[in-house]
Amino acid sequence: MLTAGLDIGSRTIALVEWDGMHIVRKEVVFTGIDPLKKSQQLMAGKHYDASVATGYGRHLASVNTLANCVITEIKAYAVGAHQLFPDVRTILDIGGQDSKVIQVKPDGAVANFEMNDKCAAGTGRFLENMALALDLNIEQLGPHALEASGKGVVLSSMCTVFAESEVVSLIGRGEDSHSVALGIHQSIVNRVCAVVRRVGYHPRFVFAGGVALNPCMRQLIEHELKIPVSVPADPQIVGALGAAIQAANNLSGKKN
Amino acid sequence: MEKFMIPAAEKILKGDKMLKSIDTDVFESLRTKNVDALIAAKNSGSRIIGMYCAYCPRELILAAGAIPIGLCGTVESAIPDAEKDLPRNLCPMVKSSYGLAVSDKCPYFALSDMVIGETTCDGKKKMFEIMESKNIKDVYVMHLPQMPDNNVSVDLWLSELRRLKDYLGKKFHVQITDAKLREAIHITNEEKRVLQKLLDLNQQQPVLISGMDMLKITYRIGFHPDRKEAIRLIEQVADGVNRAFPAGDLKTKRILLTGTPVGIGSEKVIKLVEESNALIVAQENCGGYKNVGLHIDENDPIDPLLLMARKYMKIPCSVMSPNNDRIDLIKKMIRDFHIDGVIDLTWQACHTYNLESYMVAKAVKDDMGLPFLHLETDYSQSDVETLRVRIEAFLEMIN
Ligand code: SF4
Ligand code: SF4
């Protein structure tokens, strides 16, 4: 058996191929301006017994017969994280343009969720813009912040646009760029953790999505919530993995 | 990002147009007929009174020989006109109502001899002040008490009903007798009875009528100038239901919608749910089930205004404190309509419904053990795709 899970996000597209037991292939590419074409390229020349699409482009994929079924990224993350960590109870996913908190039942089903998609604060986009303001690339931002000697500088602006000019003026005032970077992370962590508290959280706590690649974010979340945080080896494919597993479940007639 | 978002299941809504349990065409055609009929009624001397809320005592309007028409704004197009005078961060229903009034875009407002408002929420009561200051219409505001369990509330509302009765009597040179009031109470009872009969059809499994079709009926019929004819039409559609063509099957997820009122123009949440292959089986909101169960005992010989005052203090609206009856009604509807999940809709900046969602969530999740989704949105289409994710994820939780 071979199934495919396709997660078309606003920033990246992830594909996972699943044989019922293992991940056979995984890919992550930038979404760009033609997500359908990118997805078709990823899946070209392959035959799948079933495929499931998730993410913002899920209906696009299904209408164009790239997938025979769609699930939301909420469910996809729950299924994927449950596969990687069977004892998962809370998932925090911070992606490029939204973030979500999912409470999972012991059997892996979604119990409750909350999403932030109204503004860029609290998403990967915020970090990207701040990295730019600090003249760093996004991979450097987390390690750079971890080198700060003391506490982070407190940012007063939540809005991405205002925070960017605040960062510029902090640097201009001679603040240490490591401390500023730490303050940037702290600001987004505060925001995200407020949502986590609202939904409620229990161990095991899984942190996924592109922003989970950032080591500083993980440390600060652990510190803020006082709970160990597990990051999957490949945090960007959790949704695609969930979709691929869902495709296999659909084949075997298993519910969820 | 916008361009590759495709609605889930338009096909399902289209394919079965012929095979419906009810014929909504009669009500669809009311859209233009209602205005013409109102103009005709007005030309032959009838008075028309605009209402903005379920608390407006329509029996008094009927007893004064006038035609009651609901003027609540449900269209986004009127909002820019409102934002010239009102803050942006205000309930879209208040803004839309005001925009329709000042822009002269609403024939029903234009035809009204006066409008009646109530001190329900802060947004509405201050909006009425501004509307009045524009001198475009006779705006009459009633002082609505907000602690319904307290005896003085019935007393205050009774005196407000008396004040309105005097006002209407003088303004329109009519005598509002007890006999006329009792006749109006009877008509209003009848209207609620047939509405409930129609809405209760959906207690059936499978569901007979989609939420969108139900909304079309309840919304359009509200603008009918002749309440007796309206009652006849509702009863006719309810009695004529064809059970061979239900709106869903036994597996269709049955959703209860509660929260702020919805009308044609502000139906996006109902549409999204039904595009995702679930059905809005019942609505607890105003326009739906909120007050259809509130009857006045027509054989009770006491002052009809007192009977009315007591009835109105029982409407389970979030502007009341406490509002436990709403929770009880939601629980009853969950049982009667075999509900699988509850969506609580809050229009942006509506504090009372937004706050009350805490209680609703507790009742639905903890007491009834059902999935619950709270949505906060406005009339715009800008968040349709993110709402769709939430709604689909909520429906996935139902199994
Ligand atoms: S929800 Fe409350 S305030 Fe709004 S129309 Fe209904 S009764 Fe009036
Ligand atoms: S929805 Fe809320 S804020 Fe809007 S008019 Fe009704 S009670 Fe007022």
pLDDT at res. A254: 67
For residue B204, list its beta bridge partners: none
Report the distance separating Cα B73 and Cα B102, nearest Å: 12
Mean pLDDT score across all residues of chain A? 90
The end-to-end CA distance of chain A, in Å, is 18
Report the distance separating Cα A143 and Cα B19, nearest Å: 63
Q: Which of A59-68, A87-96, B38-47 has the lowest mean pLDDT?
A: A59-68
Per-residue pLDDT band for A172 (boundaries 50, 70, 90) equals confident
- B169 touches B176 (CB < 8 A): yes
Q: Is the pLDDT of residue A127 over 60?
A: yes
Name chain A contacts of B396, Cβ cutoff 8 Å. 71-72, 74-75, 110
pLDDT at res. B27: 87
Encode A99-128: b = buried (16+ Cβ within 10 Å), e = exposed: bbbbbbeeebbbbbbbbbbebbbbbbbbbb
Report the distance separating Cα B184 and Cα B201, nearest Å: 26
- The whole-model pTM stands at 0.91
- B252 touches B322 (CB < 8 A): no
Phi then psi for residue A153, to 5 deg, are -75, 135
Among B4, B390, B396, select the one facing A60 at the smallest CB separation: B4
Around B292, how many Cα atoms within 13 Å sit in the side-chain half-sphere?
21
What number is the ipTM of this complex?
0.89
- On the 0-12 / 13-18 / 19+ scale of CB atoms within 10 A, A242 is buried
Q: Is the pLDDT of residue A185 over 50?
A: yes
Task: Give the ligand 2 atom nearest the CA of B350.
Answer: 3
What's the average model confidence in pLDDT over A64-81?
93
- On the 0-12 / 13-18 / 19+ scale of CB atoms within 10 A, B59 is buried
pLDDT at res. A22: 94
Among B4, B6, B396, select the one facing A71 at the smallest CB separation: B396
Report the distance separating Cα B174 and Cα B177, nearest Å: 9
Q: Tell me the two tokens of residue B271.
A: 């549409």
pLDDT at res. B17: 53
- Domains observed in chain A: 1-85+234-256 (3.30.420.40), 87-231 (3.30.420.40)
Return the residue of A nearest to B358 by Cα: A198
What's the average model confidence in pLDDT over A195-203?
92
Residues above pLDDT 90, as percent of chain A: 61
3-state secondary structure B17-75: CCCCCCCCHHHHHHHHHHHHHHHHHHHCCCEEEEECCCCCCHHHHHHCCEEEEECCCCC
Encode A164-176: b = buried (16+ Cβ within 10 Å), e = exposed: bebbeebbeeeeb
The finding on whether B315 has its CB within 6 A of some atom of ligand 1 is: yes
Record: contact A35-B4, CB cut-off 8 A: yes
Domain B21-397 fold is Rossmann fold (3.40.50)
Cis? peptide before A204, omega within 30° of 0: yes
Q: Tell me the two tokens of residue A163.
A: 């925070």
Using a CB–CB cutoff of 8 Å, tell me whether B150 touches chain A.
Answer: no
pLDDT at res. B201: 97
- On the 0-12 / 13-18 / 19+ scale of CB atoms within 10 A, B301 is exposed
Name chain B contacts of A75, Cβ cutoff 8 Å. 393, 396
Distance of CA B330 to the CA centre of its chain: 16
The end-to-end CA distance of chain B, in Å, is 31
- Going by C-alpha positions, the residue among B70, B136, B62 that lies closest to residue B97 is B70
pLDDT at res. B331: 98
Q: Chunk chain B into consecutive blocks of 10 residues (it has 399) and report each block's average pLDDT, rounded to whole numbers.
A: 35 53 86 90 95 97 97 95 96 97 93 97 97 97 96 97 98 97 98 97 96 95 93 95 92 97 96 97 96 96 97 97 97 98 97 98 97 96 93 95
Expressed in angstroms and rounded, the spacing between residue B316 Cα and the centre of ligand 2 is: 14
Tell me the per-residue pLDDT of A223-255, one tens digit each, with 9 for 90 and over: 999 999 999 999 999 999 999 999 999 998 765
For residue A8, list its beta bridge partners: A13
- Going by C-alpha positions, the residue among B223, B276, B234 that lies closest to residue B393 is B276
Distance from CA of A204 to the nearest CA of B (A): 21
- A61 touches A49 (CB < 8 A): no
Residue B251 DSSP class: T
Using a CB–CB cutoff of 8 Å, tell me whether B3 touches chain A.
Answer: no
Tell me the per-residue pLDDT of B308-363, one tens digit each, with 9 for 90 and over: 999 999 999 999 999 999 999 999 999 999 999 999 999 999 999 999 999 999 99
Residue B314 DSSP class: T
Name chain A contacts of B398, Cβ cutoff 8 Å. none
Tell me the per-residue pLDDT of B258-274, one tens digit each, with 9 for 90 and over: 999 999 999 999 999 99
**Residue of the nearest CA to atom 2 in ligand 2?**
B350
Among B4, B5, B397, select the one facing A110 at the smallest CB separation: B397
Using a CB–CB cutoff of 8 Å, tell me whether A66 touches chain B.
Answer: no
The finding on whether B120 has its CB within 6 A of some atom of ligand 1 is: yes
Distance from CA of A151 to the nearest CA of B (A): 36
